Structure 1
Amino acid sequence: MTADNQTYPLVIDQRIDEPGGIARLRLRSPDGSPLTPFTAGAHLDVHVCDGEIDLWRQYSLCSDPACNEFYEIGVLRDPNSRGGSETLHKVAREGETLEIEGPRNHFPLHEEAPQSLLFGGGIGVTPMIAMARRLQALGKAFTLHYCTRSRSLTAFRDEIEASGLSANVVYHHDDMVESTLHLSAELANANDEAHIYVCGPQGFMDWIIGAAVEAGWPTGRVHSEYFNAEVDTSGSAFEVEAAASGVIVRVEEGVSIAQALREAGVKVDVSCEEGVCGTCICDVLEGIPDHRDHFLNDEEKAENDQMAICCSRAKSDRLVIDL
């Protein structure tokens, strides 16, 4: 089976309800044909649709990149989300079909590194499991630090043990002082050419990344993927021209560029609407963006030639974008 970034169906072959409100879904092609190979760190875009809910959401692959018989994702049931995870937990039953796009990888593993430090917070462990499987297959040195609120809420323990990863996994639980993650020591003891990977809640990620920066780690060896983020839509109004469409809109405070353009009849591709997935990235032809996303890296933001229009705003009075 070839995805080619087109929408296609996958059948839920198995659902395992893990601790902590996480559903682990195993997905196969309807006819049993092989799936498109993926690399560690990749995700699927899943169409979540039920009643008034009609969303696309991204879920990291936690299955073995060496296996193309099925994909596995983990879905956290988050009552504070906009309905995607709640709905998917409701409709994801064995035998049901989901519409999928991908796999895509914006969080690739640097396989040449002599050592990798993987930090997964809660559901953010899912891409780390795939990375750990790949690093184990390559015979590379790595440690997966898996941080959760408590042992009783820790998902994937059985899967980690069955995969033979346990020797390289260290569990850290908020309610167990003896399991505290001593981050400074871990960073200080790492190989000089090691790479860091982190995924989890925003506060957790900011802590890991901030500690690495403070310890002098080059940004090129610190890799992150946000699965959600707070969106700041504050700031003065500005004008946006969609060059290809010939539409000019005024973007008021509290409104995103994507919203303003959609209301003016311009087709805009968005997915997460939180600046983490990259779906809405477009080229900037004139003006200076005020980058508020977590998708572009610092170097890309400094070039100011592209932006995430679901959350970013403008430092200039006017932007011209290629849309």
Structure 2
Amino acid sequence: MTGGSEGVRHSAEYYADPRPPVALFGRGGQPDRFMLALEGLAARLEPLTSRWRPGHPPPESAGDLTVRVAAVEHPAPDVAALTLVPAGPGTVLPPWQPGHHVDVVLGGGVVRQYSLTGDPADRSGYRIAVRRIEGGAGSGLVHGLAAGDTVGLRGPRNAFPFSRADRYLFVAGGIGITPVLPMVRAAHAAGREFRFVYTGRDRESMPFRDELPEGADVFVRPDDEYGIPDADELLTGFTPGTAVYVCGPAPLINALRRRIPEGTPFFSERFSPSPVVDGRRFEVRLGRSGPVLTVPEDESALDVVRRVRPETAYSCRQGFCGTCRVGLLAGVPDHRDRPTGGSPRGGEFALCVSRAEEGERIVLDL
């Protein structure tokens, strides 16, 4: 999310369910109103009471930040690595940590999320890396940028938190190295025990191989030399207590998640939206007197709404960037978004992931 392919971000996944508890007094499995109210209050207070510290998001930048493309490199044939610096004199880029990303505002208002993959200690510039995808609007725009061009940034934000652990297993698939590389460097600099397995089609297609720390337990594993990896092989040497960080295609993430012991700290970012889980059919009304649309069990409200309102804005499709949030006028939502940076939901509904219970009607300010 990851900051790579088409810029479709991939939210961190945990075993814990981020949704509020169901109603305590028999409301048919619907979210408890009291817990929803507490969650909203906490979201409003968090930005006022928390201070940034390791493992937490840095402060949000004040609005959009204009940056200039200082350099464009190609660490792999279809990968563009951009160095972004402040466009104005005296501007300092906000701090960030491994795992953070920025929202990049491209031509025509297209917004995509890309992982920061440079050095967090270097506040003079950010680096992102994007693999070109055939037909991808975001990646096509990024690959069309040249030194001297300007783009807008929002963030940085944290949807892939890098936490302190005694031992790590890092696994990256192709462009999935973008958020993982700063983590590997940080673990190496801190003297933490870790193993990093870097997979890809072939060596030529795998960017930043020359930036991996020397003397560390790093295995560069191209498929054309070793074959398609399986989860057992990738987990070689895994011991209890190891924190697992994975970024790459969904099959890679799912295979590892199925094989590791329950309770293992497991963090992942994926290249595509997560499938709908435990979805139930519900309805959305567009405005108080607009059309009523049925959202099937296996589709998102965003997909359904965009069939009749194709101009509806979206970006990450995984519930953290906030682009597709719209006003909630009526109905009891099942909030499934995970807003980053303490961003409050308020009376809003994230079209890409949030849902409602069977038969519920949500009225949206659309």
Q: Is the shorter-chain TM-score for this pair beyond 0.5, marking a shared fold?
A: yes
Paired letter, 1:168: D
| C-alpha displacement of 1:11 | 0.8
Matched, 1:93 2:146: yes
SS of the equivalent of 2:161 reads coil
Q: Is contact 2:281-2:357 (8 Å) kept? A: no
Q: Which has the higher contact order (CA 8 A, sep 6+)?
A: 2
8 Å Cα contact 1:197/1:222 also seen in 2: yes
Partner secondary structure for residue 124 of structure 1: helix
**TM-score in terms of structure 1 length:** 0.76
Equivalent residue letter for 1:8 = L
Q: Which position in structure 1 is the counterpart of 2:199?
A: 147
Alignment partner of 2:225 out of 155, 176, 180: 176
**Contact 2:283/2:360 (CA < 8 Å) preserved in 1?**
yes
Give how far 1:209 is off: 1.8
Q: Distance in 1 between matches of 2:319 and 2:176?
A: 13
Identical amino acids, percent of aligned pairs: 28
Give the alignment partner of residue 132 of structure 1, picking from 184, 187, 210. Answer: 184
Residues 246 and 269 in structure 2, CA contact (< 8 A), matched pair in contact too: yes
In structure 2, the CA distance between the partners of 1:201 and 1:308, relative to structure 1 (3 Å rule), is farther
Given that residues 122 and 146 in structure 1 are in contact (C-alpha distance below 8 angstroms), is that contact kept between their aligned partners in structure 2?
A: yes
Query: Which residue does 2:16 correspond to in 1?
Result: none
Query: How far is the alpha carbon of 1:144 from its aligned partner?
Result: 1.8
1:135 Cα deviation after fit = 1.5
1:175 aligned counterpart, secondary structure? helix
Distance in 2 separating the partners of 1:201 and 1:48 = 25
TM-fit CA distance, 1:7: 1.0
Q: 1:146 to 1:313 in 2, by over 3 A?
A: same
Whole-Å separation in 2 of the counterparts to 1:125 and 1:258? 29
2:263 alignment counterpart: 218
Deviation at 1:191, TM superposition (A): 3.5
State the alpha-carbon separation in 1 of the partners of residues 215 and 115 from structure 2.
Answer: 21
1:7 paired residue among 61, 64, 70: 64
The separation in 1 between residues aligned to 2:167 and 2:113, in whole angstroms, is 28
TM-superposed CA distance for 1:190, in Å, is: 2.6
**Greater fraction of residues in strand:** 1
Q: Does the aligned pair in 2 maintain the 1:249–1:261 contact within 8 Å?
A: no
Offset at residue 158 of structure 1 (A):
2.4
| 1:251 aligns to 2:306 (yes or no) | no
Deviation of the 1:97 alpha carbon: 0.7
- The runs of 5 or more residues in structure 2 that have no matched partner are 1-58, 340-346
**What letter matches 2:271 in structure 1?**
F
Select 1:22's aligned residue among 76, 79, 83.
79
2: CA distance between counterparts of 1:211 and 1:105? 26
2:133 matches 1:57 = no
- Mapped to 2, the partners of 1:308 and 1:149 lie a distance apart of 35
Match of 1:299 in 2: none
Distance 1:88 1:158 in 2: 23
* Contact 2:175–2:206 (Cα < 8 Å) also in 1: no
1:189 partner amino acid: G
Equivalent position SS for 1:119: strand
Q: 1:278 to 1:157 in 2, by over 3 A?
A: same
Specify the alignment match of 2:272 in structure 1: 228
Whether 1:275 and 2:318 are equivalent positions in the alignment is yes
- Aligned counterpart, 1:78: 133
Q: Given the alignment, which residue of 96, 99, 114 partners 1:38?
A: 96
Deviation of residue 40 (structure 1)? 1.0
Does the 8 A contact of 1:278 with 1:308 survive in 2? no
- Report the CA distance between 1:137 and its aligned residue: 2.5
The gaps in structure 1 that reach 5 residues or longer are 297-304
Specify the code of the residue in structure 2 equivalent to 1:110.
S
Partners of 1:123 and 1:201 in 2: how far apart? Answer: 10
Moved more, 15-24 or 27-36: 27-36
Residue identity in the other structure for 1:175:
D
Query: Is this contact kept in 2: 1:145–1:172, CA < 8 A?
Result: yes
Which residue of the other structure, out of 136, 147, 159, is the alignment partner of 2:211? 159
